[in-house]
A and B are shown apart, each in its own frame.
Chain A
Amino acid sequence: MFQSTKMYCDAMKSDTVWDGRIKLLSAICGLVAVAAGALALAGWISGILSLAGFAPNRIPMAPSTALFFMLFGIAVLLRLYLPQSRPAWWTCTLINAAGGVVALLLAILSSLEIHPAFEHIGMTISGTVGANPIGHMSPFTGLCFVIASLSYLGSASVSPSRHWRATAAWWLASLLIVASTVFLLAYLYGTPLLYGGPVIPPAVTTSTAFFALGIALLALSAPMAKLPYRVNGTEKSAIRLLFGVFVILACGILVAGYLYFRHFEERYRLEAESRLSAIADMKVAELVLWRRERQGDGAVIHGNPAFSALVRRFFSNPGDQAAARELKDWISRIQDAYQYDKVFLLDTRNAERISSSTIREPVSPYLAHNAAEALRSGKVLFVDFHRHSKDEPIRLSLLVPIFDETEARRALGVLVLRIDPGQYLYPFISRWPTPSKSAETLLVRREGNEVVYLNELRFNRKAPLSLRLPLARKNLPAARAVLGSAEVLEGIDYRGLPVIAALRPVPDSPWFLVAKMEKAEIYTSIRERLWFVILLVATLLISAGASVGLVWRAQGAAFYKEKVKVEQERLESERKFRTLFETMTEGVALHEMIYVDAEPVDYRLTTVNPAFERHTGVTVEKAEGALASALFGTGTPPYLNEYEQVARTGEPLIFETFFAPLKKYFHIAVNSPGPGLFATVFADITERKQQEKELQEKNAELERFAYTVSHDLKSPLVTVKTFLGYLEQDMLDLDEARVRQDIGYIHAAADKMGNLLDELLEMSRVGRMVNPPVYVSFCELVEDALGAVAGSIAESGVEVKVDNAAISLYGDRQRLVEIWQNLIENAVKYMGDQKSPRIIVGTETNGDDTVFFVRDNGIGIDPRYVEKIFGLFEKLNPKTEGSGLGLALVKRIVAMYHGAIWVESDGVGKGACFRFTLPEAVNITGKGEDA
């Protein structure tokens, strides 16, 4: 909770900053799209095509595409800066709707290789890149515009209920970005897609512009889009979804990286191979040229009559100093001119007759043999790399046979032009035109089943003629060369290292040339590129991950924002309801039913409010979790059937009940918040019930009163009226006795009415408390009462005994006195013919209650009438005085103090005992005294 609140705050804080940044980003991207379109159009108009395509051999952005970008970019800018304007809104919507339709049309036409001329928007454009005509929209470009227009329209005027449209717009924009990224990457890797095919590829500027447009559209739709932070309610699946997006991105990046690297490797390898081939070819050509020059040198001497004559002259006369000098001059000149190691002349007996060098060397048998061969063939003989012994340097020799031109071609001798390969040949062969650490050229020839290395090797100076390797080594480039291969191949060289070698035979010679380079060196640059690619891929992966993460975080923030809002609302609502729950005057309790074998047996209180405690006296702590059966000591759960029905059916129930354990009336509303659960809301209506009961009693009494009045008042009226009628008649009849009788009846009736009215007045006064309550003792009350009836007591001679009880009462003193007064009066009245009339006034204790009594030994009461005597205007004996109000009055006063009054009598003639309680007066007294 805390954490999410924090996130929420962060999100709130960054909101405005973000909005500003997003707006700026969209504006920049929209501008880029407009600029790309404008640049391309400028390029087309000015004829500088590179403005539209960035490179001469790349497809340029079509004028139609350029126009589209300008319109779409302007639509984005209009949305950003005139968000309230209706005309702007309509313009943008129209641009995008129409643009989408036209782009779709162009995409279809382009994919069918139909290229309408209106795409050139009035310009004259012709030309192709590869097989594709320029100035037309690629079908992919068309599709991208369709996507862009849908995305734009999707995020335009989104109502809160249509978030899916913005969401779709967001995804479409993402798709646009991904597609343009693929094309851009392909350009960046140097392997532009779709080139060389029948379908026009999108231009690099187009891809760039789409990338910008995509970001602008993404930013436009993002604020309203609802992205899956949670799918099916769980974060996990949303993570999976985003992870999936990331994986797809990563796979794309990795595959693109791999493909690019392979492509580069292949290209570089080819380049390296062609370089090797070129070097090999060049060297071979030079070697051929060199050999031809050497042959030429030989040819200059060979068949040269002047030289032949000079040799003959010298041989025939060795002492001819002039000839010798002249000959020496020739030889020196040849040696100097052509950089020969040594030039010398052998005679037919292979004796060295004259030499350019002063050092005399013995003629080797190999040379002698070849000299003989040269003489025999009569042609210039090229003696390949050779040496006389291990220690001697390697030489090549050109043997020029000298014949006597005058005398039937008699052999005179052989001129040996000895070549030191170390002087020119070896450096030339070893020379490499580019700086390289491992590149070298080998010159080899075949000898039997061996390949013999002829030149000094870069890594083996002693190789010439001593390094011999068997032809059986198939992966040895030199072996493959002498076996006639003239290709570029991979192999393992003499040092056992992998190399790439170009093999060439040297024409007109036993030589084969191998131009080779260590694979490792070639791959150094490839490896460098590999690192670059890995770095690029890693960067892209990280940015893809970061983008996905950003989306996740942004959505997370939005999600938590909403969640926190909901949570706050929930808390607020809960607080409100909790306050209501805790402050309401009705007791509330939540319960769960307990079933045993599907039979409801009990229920448990789960939650109760403070009012529950007030109403029931059971503390919240004790009530919560308690079983209903145990809570009130009832043994069986109260109202189980009613509650079970509510919990089962869900039908609310409202009832009023007297709850015996608490001796209270309750109004209970029961409803069910779920199966097996129910809640009770109850109010203590005991007071109301009591009031109702009192009201009912009052009503009954009133009814009785009205009835009695109508009857008892009417009755004397009837008497009066009727006897007045008789009186009239009797007076006419002059019947004096009857007149007297009539008047007597009338008197009696009038008196009765008077009494009745007095008592009615008295009765009505009892209904109201006349005097303020005071503390008064039992004895005082009885004394007052006895004082009031002292006359009749004295008259009847009744003995009154009063128990001396120390009880204090609190109430209307006059009313309380009336109780005893009436009861004593009553007792005196119904004393009958008792010889020793006696009345006892006292108190008893019955449990907690104080019971007052007035006992007499008078006529007593028939047990059948013990109830009736307390009725209003009830009299058991019509002949007795009074209207029958006394006991009714007493009952009324007793009732005012929440007491009860009853009479006990063993029967007629056995006396009566009136007992009554006054809990209200007595109990309050106790409390009052304590205080």
Chain B
Amino acid sequence: MKGEPIVILLVEDDPAHAEIVRRNLADFRIANQLEHVADGQAALDYLYRRGDFGNPDCSPRPGLILLDLRLPKVDGLEVLKTIKTDTELSRIPVVILTTSAAEADMVKAYDSHANSYLVKPVDYSQFVKLMETIGYYWLVWNEHPY
């Protein structure tokens, strides 16, 4: 663990799902800051500090992005592509967290250099376990070049 806790950017249009993520992280006492945006456009605005996120203090650089694929305005895949083609942002690990288990989505995501692809489990305990694992893996074990 390094000095500052990693900022997690959650891009999720469904407020319920966002709540689930938030609750899980809180339950495991992960002290990391969770930033939630509801659509792709907002995610990009956040990352590039535009529009509503013009103030850098309000939009700290995330160390992990949890990205849903189906998003209003700008698709999740578009967001992923933008991130991964931007030299500034490309090193941020992007974990796709989606309900879609479609192979086409996975292929497209990995082709666009997604760091991980996770399907939201329908089962509660599984979802909880998944979120626990994500927390440990990406926030504890995963090393990052900062």
The reply to whether the CB of A724 lies closer than 8 angstroms to some CB of chain B is yes
Using known A-B contacts A749-B16, A874-B72, A878-B13, determine if residue A717 contacts B124 with beta carbons closer than 8 Å: no
With a CB–CB cut-off of 8 A, which chain A residues contact B98? 711
Most B CB within 10 A of own CB, among A717, A865, A876, A878: A878
The reply to whether the CB of B20 lies closer than 8 angstroms to some CB of chain A is yes
Using known A-B contacts A715-B99, A718-B127, determine if residue A876 contacts B72 with beta carbons closer than 8 Å: yes
A799 CA / B5 CA spacing, docked (Å) = 54
The answer on a CB contact under 8 Å between B100 and A719 is no
Closest to B19 in A: A745
Using known A-B contacts A710-B100, A711-B100, determine if residue A878 contacts B16 with beta carbons closer than 8 Å: no
The reply to whether the CB of A490 lies closer than 8 angstroms to some CB of chain B is no
Kindly identify, within residues 859 to 881 of chain A, every residue whose CB is under 8 Å from any CB belonging to chain B. Answer: 862, 864-865, 868, 874-879
A708 CA / B122 CA spacing, docked (Å) = 16
The answer on a CB contact under 8 Å between B73 and A876 is yes
The answer on a CB contact under 8 Å between A719 and B20 is yes
A876 CA / B40 CA spacing, docked (Å) = 10
Using known A-B contacts A718-B120, A865-B73, determine if residue A711 contacts B99 with beta carbons closer than 8 Å: yes
The reply to whether the CB of A68 lies closer than 8 angstroms to some CB of chain B is no
Closest to B24 in A: A722
- Could you tell me the distance in whole angstroms from the C-beta of B13 to the nearest C-beta in chain A? 4
Binary contact track A28-42/B, C-beta < 8 Å → 1, others 0: 000000000000000
The answer on a CB contact under 8 Å between B122 and A878 is no
The answer on a CB contact under 8 Å between A715 and B23 is no
The answer on a CB contact under 8 Å between A712 and B20 is no
* One of B38, B102, B127 near A722 (C-beta < 8 A): B127
A876 CA / B38 CA spacing, docked (Å) = 11
The reply to whether the CB of A748 lies closer than 8 angstroms to some CB of chain B is yes
The answer on a CB contact under 8 Å between A718 and B99 is yes
Kindly identify, within residues 11 to 28 of chain B, every residue whose CB is under 8 Å from any CB belonging to chain A. Answer: 13-14, 16-17, 19-20, 23
With a CB–CB cut-off of 8 A, which chain B residues contact A267? none
The reply to whether the CB of A639 lies closer than 8 angstroms to some CB of chain B is no
The answer on a CB contact under 8 Å between A721 and B72 is no
With a CB–CB cut-off of 8 A, which chain A residues contact B20? 718-719, 722-723, 726
The reply to whether the CB of B125 lies closer than 8 angstroms to some CB of chain A is yes
Binary contact track B101-139/A, C-beta < 8 Å → 1, others 0: 110110000000000000011111101100000000000
The reply to whether the CB of B70 lies closer than 8 angstroms to some CB of chain A is yes
The answer on a CB contact under 8 Å between A748 and B13 is no
The reply to whether the CB of A725 lies closer than 8 angstroms to some CB of chain B is yes
A879 CA / B15 CA spacing, docked (Å) = 9
A770 CA / B9 CA spacing, docked (Å) = 48
- Could you tell me the distance in whole angstroms from the C-beta of A903 to the nearest C-beta in chain B? 15
> By DSSP majority rule, is chain B's interface helix, strand, loop, or mixed?
loop
A422 CA / B137 CA spacing, docked (Å) = 181
A715 CA / B90 CA spacing, docked (Å) = 28
Closest to B124 in A: A725
* One of A712, A719, A877 near B70 (C-beta < 8 A): A712
With a CB–CB cut-off of 8 A, which chain A residues contact B125? 725
- Could you tell me the distance in whole angstroms from the C-beta of A721 to the nearest C-beta in chain B? 5
The reply to whether the CB of A714 lies closer than 8 angstroms to some CB of chain B is yes
A710 CA / B104 CA spacing, docked (Å) = 13
The answer on a CB contact under 8 Å between B72 and A878 is yes
Binary contact track A511-537/B, C-beta < 8 Å → 1, others 0: 000000000000000000000000000
Using known A-B contacts A717-B122, A718-B127, determine if residue A875 contacts B102 with beta carbons closer than 8 Å: no
Using known A-B contacts A874-B72, A878-B39, determine if residue A748 contacts B16 with beta carbons closer than 8 Å: yes
A399 CA / B40 CA spacing, docked (Å) = 185
Using known A-B contacts A722-B127, A725-B124, A876-B73, determine if residue A714 contacts B38 with beta carbons closer than 8 Å: no
A722 CA / B127 CA spacing, docked (Å) = 7
Closest to B39 in A: A878
With a CB–CB cut-off of 8 A, which chain A residues contact B74? 864
Q: How many residues of A contact B (CB 8 A)?
A: 31
Closest to B102 in A: A707
The answer on a CB contact under 8 Å between B124 and A724 is yes
* One of B39, B100, B128 near A725 (C-beta < 8 A): B128
A748 CA / B16 CA spacing, docked (Å) = 9
The answer on a CB contact under 8 Å between B102 and A721 is no
The answer on a CB contact under 8 Å between B99 and A714 is yes
The answer on a CB contact under 8 Å between A726 and B124 is yes
- Could you tell me the distance in whole angstroms from the C-beta of A362 to the nearest C-beta in chain B? 176
A879 CA / B102 CA spacing, docked (Å) = 26
The answer on a CB contact under 8 Å between B124 and A722 is yes
With a CB–CB cut-off of 8 A, which chain B residues contact A726? 20, 23, 124
Using known A-B contacts A715-B17, A749-B16, A878-B39, determine if residue A710 contacts B123 with beta carbons closer than 8 Å: no
- Could you tell me the distance in whole angstroms from the C-beta of A785 to the nearest C-beta in chain B? 26
Closest to B74 in A: A864
The answer on a CB contact under 8 Å between A710 and B101 is yes
Using known A-B contacts A718-B120, A874-B72, A878-B39, determine if residue A707 contacts B16 with beta carbons closer than 8 Å: no
Closest to A877 in B: B72
With a CB–CB cut-off of 8 A, which chain B residues contact A718? 17, 20, 99, 120-122, 127
A707 CA / B23 CA spacing, docked (Å) = 28
* One of B73, B104, B127, B128 near A862 (C-beta < 8 A): B73
Closest to A728 in B: B124
A726 CA / B16 CA spacing, docked (Å) = 12
Closest to B119 in A: A714
Binary contact track A360-384/B, C-beta < 8 Å → 1, others 0: 0000000000000000000000000
A921 CA / B128 CA spacing, docked (Å) = 55
Binary contact track B33-49/A, C-beta < 8 Å → 1, others 0: 00000110000000000
With a CB–CB cut-off of 8 A, which chain A residues contact B73? 862, 864-865, 868, 876
The answer on a CB contact under 8 Å between A714 and B13 is no
A749 CA / B18 CA spacing, docked (Å) = 13
Closest to A738 in B: B23
With a CB–CB cut-off of 8 A, which chain B residues contact A716? 16
With a CB–CB cut-off of 8 A, which chain B residues contact A724? 124
The answer on a CB contact under 8 Å between A723 and B101 is no
The answer on a CB contact under 8 Å between A721 and B19 is no
- Could you tell me the distance in whole angstroms from the C-beta of B91 to the nearest C-beta in chain A? 27
With a CB–CB cut-off of 8 A, which chain A residues contact B69? 711
The answer on a CB contact under 8 Å between B102 and A710 is yes
Kindly identify, within residues 871 to 900 of chain A, every residue whose CB is under 8 Å from any CB belonging to chain B. Answer: 874-879
Kindly identify, within residues 695 to 734 of chain A, every residue whose CB is under 8 Å from any CB belonging to chain B. Answer: 707-708, 710-712, 714-719, 721-726
A891 CA / B125 CA spacing, docked (Å) = 42
Closest to A715 in B: B99
The answer on a CB contact under 8 Å between A723 and B16 is yes
With a CB–CB cut-off of 8 A, which chain B residues contact A879? 38
A552 CA / B40 CA spacing, docked (Å) = 100
With a CB–CB cut-off of 8 A, which chain A residues contact B13? 878
Binary contact track A193-204/B, C-beta < 8 Å → 1, others 0: 000000000000
With a CB–CB cut-off of 8 A, which chain A residues contact B39? 878
The answer on a CB contact under 8 Å between A719 and B72 is no
- Could you tell me the distance in whole angstroms from the C-beta of B78 to the nearest C-beta in chain A? 10
Closest to A725 in B: B124
The answer on a CB contact under 8 Å between B72 and A715 is no
With a CB–CB cut-off of 8 A, which chain A residues contact B100? 707, 710-711, 714
- Could you tell me the distance in whole angstroms from the C-beta of A738 to the nearest C-beta in chain B? 9
A865 CA / B71 CA spacing, docked (Å) = 12
- Could you tell me the distance in whole angstroms from the C-beta of B96 to the nearest C-beta in chain A? 13
A878 CA / B23 CA spacing, docked (Å) = 21
Using known A-B contacts A726-B23, A745-B19, determine if residue A719 contacts B128 with beta carbons closer than 8 Å: no
Kindly identify, within residues 719 to 759 of chain A, every residue whose CB is under 8 Å from any CB belonging to chain B. Answer: 719, 721-726, 741, 745, 748-749
7 extra interface residue pairs, beta carbon distance < 8 Å, beyond A711-B102, A714-B99: A711-B98, A721-B127, A722-B127, A864-B73, A864-B74, A874-B72, A879-B38
24 A-B pairs (CB sep. < 8 Å): A707-B104, A707-B105, A710-B101, A711-B70, A711-B98, A712-B70, A715-B17, A715-B120, A718-B120, A718-B121, A719-B17, A719-B20, A721-B123, A721-B124, A721-B127, A722-B16, A723-B16, A725-B125, A726-B124, A749-B16, A862-B73, A874-B72, A877-B72, A878-B38
Q: Closest 6 A-B residue pairs measured CB to CB?
A: A725-B124, A719-B16, A714-B99, A878-B13, A745-B16, A711-B100
